[in-house]
């Protein structure tokens, strides 16, 4: 059996840690694959890389090892048991040996050109050392501050020119990683609202290098509910007068979101889905608050005010209480498996059929969750019939 590499940017953050721990626990038969979309009946029979064939590595700014990171998570979020952590200690140590310092850590050179080179060396060395068929690079790092759009992102030629001149201001960190991955021919997935590969120049790059990418911003909580629920109002011709969303977060993401620039990035992609499904929308807002005591748990409260027949004003409220990283981690595994599959199958560019995984799906205008899931199901049916594209 050939192995597939999953390279996580932010490997020892909460999402990264749970992704690795969960994959190993399922591989060792210690856990059910609950929460994994790729284990649903509709997708299970595709020739996806098996969970126990995934080999993990990544970049990380933080020093502590995976066992420590898992323990911290257990203490704060109340998930994982000491028994599980101990049973996987060896596996986690092995992964630790494949985790390299992140490019913001000072261990790397300063300019974008040199950073890209360093990242590509790390990726290639990982692939060779572990004899991996493919590597999928997945961004699960903390959201970076919202950067203003740059004209140089418009075409690959312009971006390359800026790179030749080593113009740091054109290259936010997430773009550096995305460029490095795609340029080296690796698949790239952006699970965060950061820029990543969402700009036209990187779509060009992916096509030039015959590789694939997907993004952005994993749809794990409030937006998942919103994009499932909003069609109800649209299909019943009920006028949504107001949709107010309040998110309470206690993890590093929540802390980062105290910075209004970071929050801007997040709220923007959260609001887009709603307006796209409902068309007319009286008033809407998305609030994000940092509530430290919640740690990795998230509470979202939404109030929906709507008008029906005869002008009747009615309302719906929901509260979503979930463990953010436990909702994200299985999707990271799904995206890794599905991207590796697409890459091997010969697809290129953005993977539109993965829209159901993202708040702000690249290249897709469908935002209703059920519709998006149909796209994935149809893709699976097509791929089953035609396992290779370039033949």
- For 20, 167, 177, 262, 267, the CA distances from 148, given in Å and listed in that order, are 33, 15, 18, 12, 15
Nearer to a copy of itself, 158 or 244 (CB): 244
Q: How far is the CB of 251 from a copy of itself (least distance, A)?
A: 14
Nearer to a copy of itself, 68 or 289 (CB): 289
In angstroms, the CA 87 to CA 83 distance is: 6
| 46/168 with CB nearer a copy of itself | 46
Nearer to a copy of itself, 8 or 323 (CB): 323
Q: Smallest distance, Å, CB 267 to a copy of itself?
A: 14
Least distance to a copy of itself, CB of residue 370, Å: 4
Closest Cα partner for 325 from 8, 5, 44, 7? 8
Residue whose CB is less far from a copy of itself, 91 or 122: 91
DSSP letters of 80-133? S-HHHHHHTHHHHHHHHTTEEE-TTSSSS-SSHHHHHHHHHHHHHHHHHHTTEE
Residue 86, CB-side half-sphere exposure with 13 Å CA sphere: 3
Closest alpha carbon to 12 in 81, 53, 70: 70
Whether the Cβ atoms of residue 182 and residue 209 lie closer than 8 Å to each other: yes
- The residue (of 84 and 339) whose beta carbon lies closer to a copy of itself is 84
Least distance to a copy of itself from the beta carbon of 295, Å? 9
Distance CA 298, CA 315 (A): 23
How far is CA 340 from each of CA 135, 151, 351, rounded to the nearest angstrom? 7, 31, 11
Strand partners, 151: none
Instruction: Characterize 78-111 residue by residue with b for buried, 16 or more Cβ atoms within 10 angstroms of its Cβ, and e for exposed.
Output: ebbeeebbeebeebbeebbebbbbbbeeeebeeb
Smallest distance, Å, CB 362 to a copy of itself?
20
Cβ within 8 Å of residue 30, ≥6 positions away: 84, 87
Taking the complex as a whole, how short is the minimal distance between the CB of residue 365 and a copy of itself, in angstroms? Answer: 16
Closest separation in Å from C-beta 157 to a copy of itself: 40
* Least Å from the CB of residue 269 to a copy of itself: 19
Pick between residue 50 and residue 292 the one whose CB is nearest to a copy of itself: 292
Nearest CB to a copy of itself, comparing residues 118 and 240: 240
283 Cβ contact partners less than 8 Å away, ≥ 6 residues apart: 241, 242, 243, 244
Pick the closer one to a copy of itself by CB: 156 or 329: 329
Q: Which is nearer to a copy of itself, 281 or 348 (CB)?
A: 281
CB of 180 to a copy of itself, least distance (A): 29
Q: Who's near 312: CB < 8 A, 6+ residues apart?
A: none
Cβ of residue 85: shortest distance to a copy of itself, in angstroms? 11
- Token pair 């609202």 is found at 193
Which class for 2: exposed (0-12), middle (13-18), buried (19 or more C-beta within 10 A)?
exposed
Question: Which of 248, 245, 327, 237 has the alpha carbon at shortest distance from 285?
Answer: 245
């Amino acid at each position: 059996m050939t192995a597939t590499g999953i390279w996580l940017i932010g490997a020892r953050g909460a999402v990264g840690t749970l992704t690795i721990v969960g994959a190993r626990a399922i591989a060792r038969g210690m856990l059910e694959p609950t929460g994994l979309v790729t284990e649903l009946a509709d997708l299970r029979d595709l020739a996806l890389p098996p969970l126990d064939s995934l080999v993990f590595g990544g970049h990380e700014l933080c020093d502590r090892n995976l066992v420590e990171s898992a323990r911290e998570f257990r203490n704060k979020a109340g998930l994982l048991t000491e028994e599980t952590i101990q049973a996987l200690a060896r596996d986690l140590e092995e992964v630790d040996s494949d985790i390299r310092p992140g490019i913001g850590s000072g261990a790397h050179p300063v300019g974008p050109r040199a950073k890209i080179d360093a990242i590509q060396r790390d990726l290639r060395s990982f692939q060779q050392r572990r004899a991996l068929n493919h590597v999928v690079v997945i961004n699960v790092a903390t959201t970076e501050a919202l950067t203003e759009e740059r004209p140089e992102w418009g075409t690959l030629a312009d971006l390359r020119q800026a790179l030749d001149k080593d113009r740091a201001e054109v290259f936010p960190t997430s773009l550096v990683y995305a460029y490095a991955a795609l340029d080296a021919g690796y698949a790239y997935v952006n699970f965060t609202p950061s820029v990543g590969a969402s700009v036209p120049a990187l779509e060009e790059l992916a096509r030039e290098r015959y590789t694939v990418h997907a993004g952005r911003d994993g749809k794990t909580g409030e937006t998942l509910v919103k994009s499932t629920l909003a069609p109800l109002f649209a299909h019943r011709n009920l006028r949504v007068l107001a949709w107010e969303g309040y998110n309470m977060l206690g993890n590093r993401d929540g802390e980062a979101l105290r910075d209004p620039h970071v929050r801007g990035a997040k709220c923007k992609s959260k609001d887009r889905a709603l307006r796209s499904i409902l068309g007319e929308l009286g008033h809407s807002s998305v609030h994000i608050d940092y509530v430290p005591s919640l740690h990795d748990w998230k509470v979202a409260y939404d109030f929906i005010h709507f008008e029906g027949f005869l002008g009747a004003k009615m309302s719906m409220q929901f509260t979503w209480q979930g463990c953010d990283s436990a909702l994200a981690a299985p999707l990271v595994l799904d995206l890794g498996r599905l991207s590796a599959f697409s890459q091997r199958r010969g697809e290129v560019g953005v993977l539109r059929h993965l829209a159901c995984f993202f708040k702000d799906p690249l290249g897709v205008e469908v935002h209703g969750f059920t519709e998006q899931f149909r796209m994935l199901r149809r893709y699976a049916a097509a791929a089953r019939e035609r396992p290779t594209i370039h033949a």
